[in-house]
């Protein structure tokens, strides 16, 4: 899935769209996406400008956006047009390696369960084969 299809599913736009491409998607189960990290992104001018690293919160956001696409591509979940997808919680977040300009962040998200309108996911990001962050994400869909 390329950027045009991603933009049709998510309301986010530059500079806050954290998904550049979907590499693999199994509806209702898993998604693998990428985010290319470039030096001209706005966070790098203020986030450790002498040694720029991607803020951890943006990696969490990238996983949440991938989870949103996974939910919107699940045939078992009925989502009305104009629905919004919100991150409602983050548990067990661990940051293992800095992400720097020039890296390609691979975002892997797996659906774990849903209950009372809350969807729970296991998220991991890697650069090459190195884990950069892992977290359990909770999200919900707000219908219009």
List, for residues 19-29, the tens digit of each pLDDT value: 999 999 999 89
Q: How far apart are CA 98 and CA 118, in angstroms?
A: 30
Please tell me the pTM assigned to this model. 0.92
Here the tokens at position 80 are: 């009305």
126 catalytic? Reply is: no
For residue 108, how many other CB atoms are within 10 A of its CB?
A: 19
Q: Which is catalytic among the residues 21, 47, 97, 106?
A: 47
Residue 105 · residue 37 · CB < 8 Å: yes
The confidence score (pLDDT) of residue 11 equals: 85
Residue pLDDT, tens place only, 82-121: 677 899 999 999 999 999 999 999 999 999 999 998 999 9
Q: What are 2-9's contacts with CB under 8 Å, separation 24+?
A: 6/69, 9/68, 9/69, 9/72, 9/73
Cα–chain center distance at 67: 6
Domain that holds residue 19: 3-142
Q: Count the domains in the chain.
A: 1
Residue 142 · residue 84 · CB < 8 Å: yes
Residue 70: name the closest of 26, 117, 20 by CA. 26
């Amino acid at each position: 899935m390329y950027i045009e299809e991603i933009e049709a599913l998510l309301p986010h736009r530059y500079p806050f769209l954290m998904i550049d491409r979907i590499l693999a998607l199994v509806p209702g189960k898993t998604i693998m996406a990428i985010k290319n990290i470039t030096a001209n992104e706005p966070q790098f001018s203020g986030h450790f400008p002498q040694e720029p690293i991607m803020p951890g919160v943006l990696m969490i956001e990238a996983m949440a956006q991938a989870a949103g696409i996974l939910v919107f591509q699940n045939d078992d979940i009925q989502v009305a047009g104009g629905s919004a997808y919100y991150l409602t919680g983050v548990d067990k977040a661990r940051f293992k390696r800095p992400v720097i300009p020039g890296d390609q962040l691979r975002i892997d998200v797996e659906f774990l369960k849903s209950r009372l309108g809350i969807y729970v996911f296991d998220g991991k990001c890697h650069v090459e084969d190195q884990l950069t962050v892992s977290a359990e994400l909770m999200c919900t869909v707000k219908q219009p």
